[in-house]
Chain A
Amino acid sequence: MTKLEKFQERFAEVYPSFRAEAKDDCVVLSGVADNYEDLVKAGQMAAKTKWFYGVINDIKLKGYEPTPIKAPSFSDKALEGIHVDVLVIGGGITGCAILRELSKYQLSSLLVDKEEDVAMAASSRNDGCVHVGMDLHKGSLKLKYLVRSRKFYKQMCKDLDVPYRQDGQSIGFTNGWLKLLVRPALKIKALINHVPGGVKVLNRRHFQTIEPNIADDVAFGVFLPGGACTSPYELTIALGESAVHNGAKISLRTIVESMKVENHRVFSVQTNRGIIYPKVVVNAAGAYSDVIAEMMNDRFFTIHPRKGTDSIIDKAALPTLSRTSTTVYPKLGQLKKTHSKGGAVMPTSDLNALVGPDALETPDREDYTTDKARVDAMFDKQIHAMKNLSERDIITYFSGIRAATYEEDFVVQKGKWTTNVIHAAGIQSPGVTAAPAIGIDVAKWASEMLNAKTKEKWDPIRKGIVKTRLLSNEERDALIKKNPAYGHIVCRCEEISEGEIIDAIHSTIPPTTIDGIKRRVRAGMGRCQGGFCQPAVLSIMAKEEKIDPLSIGKKGEGKLFFRRTKEGK
């Protein structure tokens, strides 16, 4: 019996209504599932065998019509006939990190994204944790790229002028006796995984010096000094801006519709803005990366989207909460095996507290909805970590979709069947950490495919928008004397000046919506959630871009206004 036949037998026992076939060394699952849970479990079963190169899960969910992809509503010929060396599909942190690395080589590169800005999907919908990789599997791409990235991450954030805070990561345990088992196990794992900063196992008294607000029943704690955080959307934007500064191009509101593949090569890529002729295509399309792989005739994996919801807590409450990214290991007996970690309470790089995320398998690749019961459940859970945690301090919540493969690892490799493609797909946690190192490999492979040499001159530095609230009084005063707009505070909750908003409007990847400005300078992210500042931001945008305020939207293609109140005639 071949490996495939063995699997088919076992599979048929568990899932009699599904079929498993071979495609080269991959397995293709098909059939119709009554519920989504079975569909996912079938794929997980196939992946668990580790025999197959990849799992192509084509099982359909009964009665489920997939939500059509959110696409730009217009088309034009702006990119018609363009020839480019490397086309990067996807403007998340992975795509932008790749683009920046590509810009080091003597080649032309173009990144396309279907949204109106970079960092619109998972890259702006996560907790910004820069992980240490303690819980990752040896041999996984997740661990490989995390370890490589951590070596230069801090310096990279400095070069890109984005926040980096190394506060550490903490895990509390309520079962005191576990300490005997946990200490040696973690010490060994930390060595194997090259955990930056190592691991400390501390008794409660010591743990409390790190986390004074830890719940009362926590008996001991594990502290990972290397745990850090950044602002994932600021970083994504910075990576993109750095790439553009070094010659790369970005085209937003550009969706890939189909590809022409001939002789195991992508010949052309059809977008809503015309047909592009790339020599190499990079797949960094996140939750849609298997769909792009399919277009490339190179699909050997499947994304099963996994939603996570985070809540943001008022900055004022942070001192009563955690100093590090903190969670409490569930009591033995309450242990549930999930692929995503059970969430935590952590300070963000901007000193809010963030609570979450949870994990929910969903067939919808762009389901960013939040749900009260799930937020309540997360708070019920995390109160076991942070005793002062309260939903009363919530200022907002949001969801993101993890682009999870069934193997629960990254897909970072050259094409399996199609020769001029590279995948940087299936990026979920620790994607924010690993993306920079993934970018290096992908760019290297692309340059090899093109025989491109590195540029002699490449500028690693990207200057961000000044954060006047962080300047000393003297520095701030000098800056205002040069440009009074920096002295007009527009967003009161976050202390953001008109000058910073103007800088955002004129930045390298210019925002076209109110939310785009928000992502760049935080105006509207405070406790009043734009209640006071949104009209002012709108007015500044209209003035700076010399456009009618009537045409400005908050996000996507949504309009804020329908008409003027008075025509005056």
Chain B
Amino acid sequence: MFVYDVIVIGGGPAGLAAASSASRCGASTLLLEREGALGGILKQCIHDGFGLTRYQEKLAGPEYANKEIEKLNETTAEVSLLTFVTKIVKLQPGFKVTVVNPKGVSTYTTKKLILATGCRERTAKQVSIHGTNPGGVMTAGQAQYYINILGLMPIKECVILGSGDIGLIMARRITLEGGHVEGVYEAKSTPSGLARNIAQCLTDFSIPLHLSETVTKVYGIDRLEAVEISKVDDKMNPIPGTEKIVKCDSLILSVGLIPENELAKSIGVPLHPVTKGPIVNQELMSKISGVYTCGNAMHVNDLADYVSESGEIAGVAAASTDEIAGVSKAVTWDKNLAYVVPQLVDFAKNTKDVIFYFRVRDVYQNKILKVYLGDDVILKKPFMTLRPPEMERVVLSLPNEGEIKFVLEDIAK
């Protein structure tokens, strides 16, 4: 006897789409969200560029979230805010979820779980920044919250470490709010963010981008006073003797997102070492039967539109009452790709128009992506440029069972 068919943990764009689609498929659905409002990180992403594919509109983060919330409100899915999951127990079948919220401690049982727990930000200490421990060192998300939600300005003169999208977005945001960005520093030799963000966030404001340089030390006791920046080699190790000191009162860190999967780990969901998210099949079900995932918890996404798409896939799949099949075949990829999601295909499930996401390991020009199903090539797609920060998406139909392999080759002359 289960109280719910589907419980979705996380009310950001992934969870909203998952709960919405599960409910529309007829599943009794409960969405658990730890904040006081739905929308997840989109609430503080006030810049636009969301919804270009999903809604053919250029929306600000909160507008996109609002549309997703309205879609959810049209369903009978229940929502519990300020609700924190403290424990999940596998009942086999099904799960028991214990939550804490201002009403007390409650437990719910559910047939299926969808983990839409998003990401957290990598910290300064996790990228070996040493020296003192002053105020003024903050992640891009923290700075974004202070500026966009609380209307408080924590920055006068800053250095941004990391050229990922969030760092670039904040470079523009800080500048528009009257702060000064001395520069954006990136340890890799190529920028991490989308090309258009380099253009509209850095080039537009004449903010310099320094590649192959990183912050190694901070100075200042109670508040940051300066940072030490070093050039790095191709292994991203600081090169001794190349240090320079830059005076600033703020260091903004945009050094990567880490999928939040402590709950997944607690119930033994195997994670992929590269994505740091659960290993999934094309229905976004993990290797633990009945546990699905989507969004940034599954792998770090660039576009909210794809996050919502993955939520819908997971929601529909979780709502299905079909028997959960067992055997899946592994998807493999050559060393040019960092990863492909999903990593498994269950041939007893839907094999038409399966969505695959992938990232490459390095910057490549003029490559052709070949996808093999057994010995047959089922996709040949040329790409002029492929970059690690830009996640790609291909849709494939799999007419028969076989090993799937993603390969990148040079375009034949």
Direct contact of A and B (CB under 8 A): yes
In chain A, positions 539-569 with a C-beta closer than 8 Å to chain B are 539, 549-550, 553-566
Assembled-state Cα–Cα distance A532/B154 (Å): 16
Q: Does A75 interact with chain B (Cβ within 8 Å)? A: no
Q: Does B262 interact with chain A (Cβ within 8 Å)? A: yes
- What are the residues of chain A within 8 A of B191 when measuring CB–CB? none
- What are the residues of chain B within 8 A of A369 when measuring CB–CB? 130-132
Q: How far is the CB of A563 from chain B (nearest CB, A)?
A: 5
Q: Does A396 interact with chain B (Cβ within 8 Å)? A: yes
- What are the residues of chain A within 8 A of B84 when measuring CB–CB? 489, 492, 495
Assembled-state Cα–Cα distance A446/B186 (Å): 60
Are B100 and A531 neighbours in the complex by a CB distance under 8 Å? no
Assembled-state Cα–Cα distance A482/B106 (Å): 15
Given A531-B120, A556-B221, A559-B135, A565 and B102 contact (CB-CB distance below 8 Å):
no
Are A531 and B142 neighbours in the complex by a CB distance under 8 Å? yes
- What are the residues of chain B within 8 A of A489 when measuring CB–CB? 34, 82, 84, 100
Q: Which of B104, B152, B155 is A549 in contact with, Cβ under 8 Å? A: B152
Q: Whose C-beta in chain A lies nearest to the C-beta of B128?
A: A372
Are A368 and B133 neighbours in the complex by a CB distance under 8 Å? yes
Q: How far is the CB of A556 from chain B (nearest CB, A)?
A: 3
In chain A, positions 458-501 with a C-beta closer than 8 Å to chain B are 468-469, 473-474, 476-477, 480-481, 484-485, 487-489, 492, 495, 497
Are B150 and A549 neighbours in the complex by a CB distance under 8 Å? yes
| Residue-wise interface mask of B (131-163) relative to A, using a CB-CB cutoff of 8 A (1 in contact, 0 not) | 111111001011001110111111110000000
Q: Which of B34, B126, B142 is A535 in contact with, Cβ under 8 Å? A: B142
Given A528-B121, A549-B152, A561 and B131 contact (CB-CB distance below 8 Å):
no
- What are the residues of chain A within 8 A of B216 when measuring CB–CB? 372
Q: Does A371 interact with chain B (Cβ within 8 Å)? A: yes
Q: Which of A370, A480, A556 is B100 in contact with, Cβ under 8 Å? A: A480
- What are the residues of chain A within 8 A of B336 when measuring CB–CB? none
Q: Which of B123, B132, B135: most chain A CB closer than 10 A?
A: B135
Q: Whose C-beta in chain A lies nearest to the C-beta of B220?
A: A558
Given A369-B132, A484-B103, A487-B101, A561 and B146 contact (CB-CB distance below 8 Å):
yes
Q: Which of B120, B132, B136, B151 is A532 in contact with, Cβ under 8 Å? A: B120
- What are the residues of chain B within 8 A of A492 when measuring CB–CB? 34, 84
| Residue-wise interface mask of B (206-243) relative to A, using a CB-CB cutoff of 8 A (1 in contact, 0 not) | 00000000001000111100000000000000000000
Q: Does A445 interact with chain B (Cβ within 8 Å)? A: no
Q: How far is the CB of A476 from chain B (nearest CB, A)?
A: 5
Assembled-state Cα–Cα distance A530/B123 (Å): 10
Are A558 and B134 neighbours in the complex by a CB distance under 8 Å? yes
Are A480 and B105 neighbours in the complex by a CB distance under 8 Å? yes
Are A558 and B136 neighbours in the complex by a CB distance under 8 Å? yes
Q: How far is the CB of B335 from chain A (nearest CB, A)?
A: 22
Assembled-state Cα–Cα distance A148/B408 (Å): 70
Are B134 and A539 neighbours in the complex by a CB distance under 8 Å? no
Q: Which of B142, B151, B223 is A559 in contact with, Cβ under 8 Å? A: B223
- What are the residues of chain A within 8 A of B128 when measuring CB–CB? 372, 375
Q: Does A153 interact with chain B (Cβ within 8 Å)? A: no
Q: Does A529 interact with chain B (Cβ within 8 Å)? A: yes
- What are the residues of chain A within 8 A of B120 when measuring CB–CB? 527-528, 531-532
- What are the residues of chain A within 8 A of B220 when measuring CB–CB? 558
- What are the residues of chain A within 8 A of B100 when measuring CB–CB? 468, 476, 480, 487, 489, 497
Q: Main SS of the interface on chain A?
A: mixed
Q: Does A395 interact with chain B (Cβ within 8 Å)? A: yes
Assembled-state Cα–Cα distance A377/B105 (Å): 45
- What are the residues of chain B within 8 A of A468 when measuring CB–CB? 100
Q: Does A11 interact with chain B (Cβ within 8 Å)? A: no
Are B221 and A70 neighbours in the complex by a CB distance under 8 Å? yes
Are B262 and A560 neighbours in the complex by a CB distance under 8 Å? no
Assembled-state Cα–Cα distance A554/B135 (Å): 6
Given A372-B128, A531-B123, A558-B134, A565 and B103 contact (CB-CB distance below 8 Å):
no
- What are the residues of chain A within 8 A of B121 when measuring CB–CB? 528, 531
Are B103 and A562 neighbours in the complex by a CB distance under 8 Å? no
Assembled-state Cα–Cα distance A538/B120 (Å): 19
Assembled-state Cα–Cα distance A83/B30 (Å): 64
Are A398 and B153 neighbours in the complex by a CB distance under 8 Å? no
Are B131 and A484 neighbours in the complex by a CB distance under 8 Å? no
Q: Which of B107, B132, B149: most chain A CB closer than 10 A?
A: B132
Q: Does B196 interact with chain A (Cβ within 8 Å)? A: no
Q: How far is the CB of A313 from chain B (nearest CB, A)?
A: 11
Are A473 and B151 neighbours in the complex by a CB distance under 8 Å? no
| Residue-wise interface mask of A (347-380) relative to B, using a CB-CB cutoff of 8 A (1 in contact, 0 not) | 0000000000000000000001111100100000
Q: Does B361 interact with chain A (Cβ within 8 Å)? A: no
Q: How far is the CB of A543 from chain B (nearest CB, A)?
A: 12
Are A477 and B132 neighbours in the complex by a CB distance under 8 Å? no
Are B98 and A473 neighbours in the complex by a CB distance under 8 Å? yes
Given A476-B100, A565-B147, A487 and B123 contact (CB-CB distance below 8 Å):
no
Q: Does A534 interact with chain B (Cβ within 8 Å)? A: yes
Q: Does B125 interact with chain A (Cβ within 8 Å)? A: yes
Given A394-B125, A476-B105, A480-B103, A558 and B86 contact (CB-CB distance below 8 Å):
no
Q: Does B71 interact with chain A (Cβ within 8 Å)? A: no
| Residue-wise interface mask of A (194-216) relative to B, using a CB-CB cutoff of 8 A (1 in contact, 0 not) | 00000000000000000000000
Q: Whose C-beta in chain A lies nearest to the C-beta of B81?
A: A488
Q: How far is the CB of A449 from chain B (nearest CB, A)?
A: 37
Are B223 and A488 neighbours in the complex by a CB distance under 8 Å? no
Q: Does A36 interact with chain B (Cβ within 8 Å)? A: no
Q: Does A22 interact with chain B (Cβ within 8 Å)? A: no
Q: Does B401 interact with chain A (Cβ within 8 Å)? A: no
Are A550 and B222 neighbours in the complex by a CB distance under 8 Å? no
Q: Which of A480, A495, A529, A553 is B104 in contact with, Cβ under 8 Å? A: A480
Q: Whose C-beta in chain A lies nearest to the C-beta of B177?
A: A565
- What are the residues of chain B within 8 A of A375 when measuring CB–CB? 128, 130
Q: Does B265 interact with chain A (Cβ within 8 Å)? A: yes
Q: How far is the CB of A535 from chain B (nearest CB, A)?
A: 5
Given A368-B133, A558-B134, A565 and B153 contact (CB-CB distance below 8 Å):
yes
Assembled-state Cα–Cα distance A559/B224 (Å): 10
Q: Which of A70, A397, A485, A555 is B135 in contact with, Cβ under 8 Å? A: A555
Q: How far is the CB of A69 from chain B (nearest CB, A)?
A: 12
Q: How far is the CB of B36 from chain A (nearest CB, A)?
A: 8
Are A561 and B104 neighbours in the complex by a CB distance under 8 Å? no
- What are the residues of chain A within 8 A of B152 when measuring CB–CB? 549-550, 560-561, 564-565
Assembled-state Cα–Cα distance A482/B304 (Å): 40
- What are the residues of chain A within 8 A of B101 when measuring CB–CB? 487-488
Q: Which of B98, B103, B125, B131 is A395 in contact with, Cβ under 8 Å? A: B125
Q: How far is the CB of B243 from chain A (nearest CB, A)?
A: 13
Q: Does A316 interact with chain B (Cβ within 8 Å)? A: yes
Q: Which of A485, A495, A529 is B86 in contact with, Cβ under 8 Å? A: A495
Q: Whose C-beta in chain A lies nearest to the C-beta of B224?
A: A558
- What are the residues of chain A within 8 A of B156 when measuring CB–CB? 562
| Residue-wise interface mask of B (358-401) relative to A, using a CB-CB cutoff of 8 A (1 in contact, 0 not) | 00000000000000000000000000000000000000000000
Are B155 and A562 neighbours in the complex by a CB distance under 8 Å? yes
Selected A-B contacts with CB under 8 Å, 27 pairs: A371-B130, A372-B128, A372-B130, A372-B216, A395-B125, A396-B125, A398-B133, A476-B100, A476-B105, A480-B102, A488-B82, A488-B101, A492-B84, A497-B100, A529-B123, A529-B125, A535-B142, A535-B145, A535-B149, A539-B150, A553-B135, A555-B135, A555-B222, A558-B135, A558-B223, A559-B135, A564-B153
Interface positions of B (Cβ within 8 A of A): 34, 82, 84, 86, 98, 100-105, 107, 120-121, 123, 125-126, 128, 130-136, 139, 141-142, 145-147, 149-156, 177-178, 216, 220-223, 262, 265
Interface positions of A (Cβ within 8 A of B): 70, 316, 368-372, 375, 394-398, 468-469, 473-474, 476-477, 480-481, 484-485, 487-489, 492, 495, 497, 527-532, 534-535, 538-539, 549-550, 553-566
Known: A395-B126, A488-B101, A529-B123. 8 other contacts (CB 8 A): A369-B132, A370-B130, A394-B125, A396-B125, A473-B107, A477-B104, A492-B34, A531-B141
Chain A to chain B: the 10 pairs with minimum beta-carbon distance, closest first: A558-B222, A556-B222, A484-B102, A554-B135, A558-B223, A489-B84, A477-B105, A487-B102, A558-B135, A477-B104
